[in-house]
Amino acid sequence: MKTSNLTFNLQEIPEGKSNRSITVSKGELEFDDDVSLLGADVEIRFYKTDHFIQVKFDVISQVQLVCDRSLKKFTHSVEGSYSILFEPNPVEEYETDKEAVRQIPSDELTVSIGKEVRDTIMLRLPVRRIHPDFLDDDGIPTEFETKTFGTSQTDEDIIDPRWEALKKLK
């Protein structure tokens, strides 16, 4: 995963509170085949002490999705936030949909939030990916219309050929 601008050198993060704004461009984060990142703005808030580094971020992104009904591509806006607590000491790591606790490996001088930014976007995607053409004014999917082309044959029009053979026997 290419996340160079979402990887931070621990020595460059100042003590106390600090902020950074980062723009993630198309193709910088890897997604599934049916999801493409068009761009994202990430607002990051750091709080660094001698004992831990807290990283909170808000992400606003544009993704391109494929409609489940028509297979047409469309753009969808995604917003989300996440919090990560990095600790240098051994700690029980855990992760939820809102926050995570991670240990900083003693041999590394960087922390990366690329995976968390990607996961935050992925978790905010709709389960049913419906093109806006198929949504009403309230955002509710409209009824899917089944169209028939050519002549329509109902069950009454279709006659089993064996019955025709039986009628000829009379």
Q: How many residues does the chain have?
A: 170
Q: Within a domain: residue 153?
A: no
- Range with the largest mean pLDDT of 20-34, 59-73, 148-162: 59-73
Please give the residue range of the domain that contains residue 65.
Answer: 4-134
What's the rounded Cα separation, in Å, for the pair 153 and 59? 54
Total structural domains within the chain? 1
**Residue 2: per-residue pLDDT:** 44
Residue 147 belongs to some domain of the structure: no
What pLDDT shows up at residue 106? 81
Query: What's the pLDDT score for residue 153?
Result: 63
Whether residue 146 lies inside any domain: the answer is: no
User: Is residue 37 in some structural domain?
Assistant: yes
163: in domain: no
Once rounded to an integer, what is the mean pLDDT over residues 151-159?
A: 66
Residue 75 has a pLDDT of 93
144: tokens are 């899917």
Instruction: Please name every residue paired with 83 in a beta bridge, in sequence order, or none if there are none.
Output: 56, 99
**Helix ranges (DSSP H) in 6-145:** 114-123
Given a contact cutoff of 8 angstroms between Cβ atoms, the answer to whether 72 and 131 are in contact is yes
